[in-house]
Structure 1
Amino acid sequence: MAANSGDIFSVSAPAVTKELKQERAVRTRERVLASAASAFAAKGYPAVTILDVAQSAGMTKGAVYFHYENKDALAVAVTELFNRRIGEIARAVEELGLPPVSAVAELLIRTAVAFRDETALQAGARLQLERQLIGAQIPLPYEGYTDLITSWLAKETADDGADPAGALTSSTNLATVLVSAFFGAQHISWVLNNRADLPERTIAVVRAIIPCAEEDIELCPSAPRG
């Protein structure tokens, strides 16, 4: 019995150690990424150094370089984090089962709140503005976001009996205008008010571009009231 127990522990201990090391590595990468996002959001890509990120994360430059090759790699990782977060918001809205226009409004409002409150989104937005200064390819901004809104609006138009081809064209145009206006409002709100009024500006954008959307906005659980 003792021999068998010894055999079990001698086999499992290295596996446990490896798993713990992997967990620590994941946590360290997350800490580095959070520090990089905070630095990019506050200072912008050109002004940030690896030393800034290392000091904010409470580690050495060598530890940062172990996980990320250079500052460009950090910018790409933060941009990917931004896109993942946008995807999470979109999936959460889809799960609500709202009518299409309400879903679009809810998506924009939740995105506005996330821009106001979450460093990763603030960093991602700033990196998009500075993409020409980054020595690596980062994903193009808001393409998937626009495609999703287009698909929701097309469903609304199709439900009204419109020609499918015309509905898609109309929905694409409307989605493009909505996304452009929203992210323009995001930038203005950032410059003027540190995004504190972005949810309210977002509602104004939806009302201006879709004048008949008032009843749909009322169905949005995240819409500012009063």
Structure 2
Amino acid sequence: MPHEVFGPPYPSSGSRELKQERAVQTRERILGAAGRAFAAKGYPAVTILDVAQGAGMTKGAVYFHYENKDALALAVTDVFYRRITQLAQAVEELALPPLCSVAELLLRSATAFREETVIQAGARLQLERQVIGVQLPLPFESYTKVITTWLTQGRDVLAHQDIRSPETLATVLVSAFFGAQHISWVLSDRADLMERTNALIRAIIPSAERDIRLCPSASAG
């Protein structure tokens, strides 16, 4: 009587895809829990147990996907920068005037800092980078580059202002914005960040006043 084999000798492609999908969903749950923990408590105070409990799973399950807390911090920071990139790409697709694009990105970033945990976590981890045992991406490089590009395109509008270069202005804007979000976080849990962002745009780029009115996010509060 021939030997019967029940089921395929190797996992089917459908089974592998299902396992991969589940693994992705599990990592997303873990990163969501880690982001909430880092945003609320800061890197030094967070434990793997905090993350596991926040994700509704065991510590072992967390360690299966992430070697340690440093790996979690790096992964959350990577998600943070992907989200920042998504914001810039969404503004790019609007094809707004250059200075309007700058203002719109800053305003959308303000909304994201106020409402999105992963953004809050990523910003806090950057502040705590010296106590994290893994090298995080350099802060806000691509963000500054895209703003520099738009300011370069709007150079004619900026010509009458005493500005050394689009690069200098971009650096000032990014520094001012991320400083403003930090102060707003400390003083009001970012409740006034939109107002602070509107004020810094108008103070640093007064020639953008007309363009700001064209921003879809200009009336957000």
* 2:4 matched residue in structure 1: none
2-side partners of 1:194 and 1:119: how far apart? Answer: 12
Q: Is the 8 A contact 2:202 2:209 kept in 1?
A: yes
Q: CA deviation at 1:196?
A: 1.1
- Unpaired runs of 5+ residues, structure 2, are 1-6
Provide, for residues 159-182 of structure 1, a one-character-per-residue CA deviation record: whole Å limited to 9, x for no partner. Answer: 5697xxxxx961001101100100
* 3-state SS, counterpart of residue 192 of structure 1: helix
* 1:134 matched residue in structure 2: 132
* 2:75 matched residue in structure 1: 77
Q: 1:117-128 alignment to 2 at 5 Å?
A: 117-128=115-126
Q: Is the 8 A contact 1:54 1:64 kept in 2?
A: yes
* 3-state SS, counterpart of residue 212 of structure 1: helix
Q: CA deviation at 1:184?
A: 0.5
Same amino acid, percent of matched pairs = 69
* 1:54 matched residue in structure 2: 52
Q: 1:197-216 alignment to 2 at 5 Å?
A: 197-216=192-211
Indicate whether 1:33 and 2:28 are aligned: no
Q: Measured at CA, do residues 192 and 161 of structure 1 come closer, stay the same or move farther in structure 2, by a change above 3 Å?
A: closer
Q: Measured at CA, do residues 77 and 161 of structure 1 come closer, stay the same or move farther in structure 2, by a change above 3 Å?
A: closer
After TM superposition, what 4+ stretches of structure 1 lie above 6 angstroms from structure 2? Answer: none
- Unpaired runs of 5+ residues, structure 1, are 1-8, 163-167
1:179 to 174, 179, 192: 174
Q: Measured at CA, do residues 49 and 225 of structure 1 come closer, stay the same or move farther in structure 2, by a change above 3 Å?
A: closer
2-side partners of 1:40 and 1:118: how far apart? Answer: 13
1-side partners of 2:131 and 2:116: how far apart? Answer: 23
2:18 to 1, 17, 20: 20
> TM-score, normalised to structure 1's length?
0.89
* 1:43 matched residue in structure 2: 41
1-side partners of 2:57 and 2:212: how far apart? Answer: 46
> TM-score, normalised to structure 2's length?
0.91
Which letter does structure 1 place at the counterpart of 2:142? G
Provide, for residues 51-81 of structure 1, a one-character-per-residue CA deviation record: whole Å limited to 9, x for no partner. Answer: 0000010000000000000000000000000
Q: CA deviation at 1:224?
A: 2.4
Q: CA deviation at 1:28?
A: 0.1
1-side partners of 2:218 and 2:39: how far apart? Answer: 26
Question: For the aligned residues, what is the CA RMSD?
Answer: 1.9
2-side partners of 1:187 and 1:108: how far apart? Answer: 14
Q: CA deviation at 1:105?
A: 0.1
Q: Number of matched residues? A: 212
Which letter does structure 1 place at the counterpart of 2:129? R
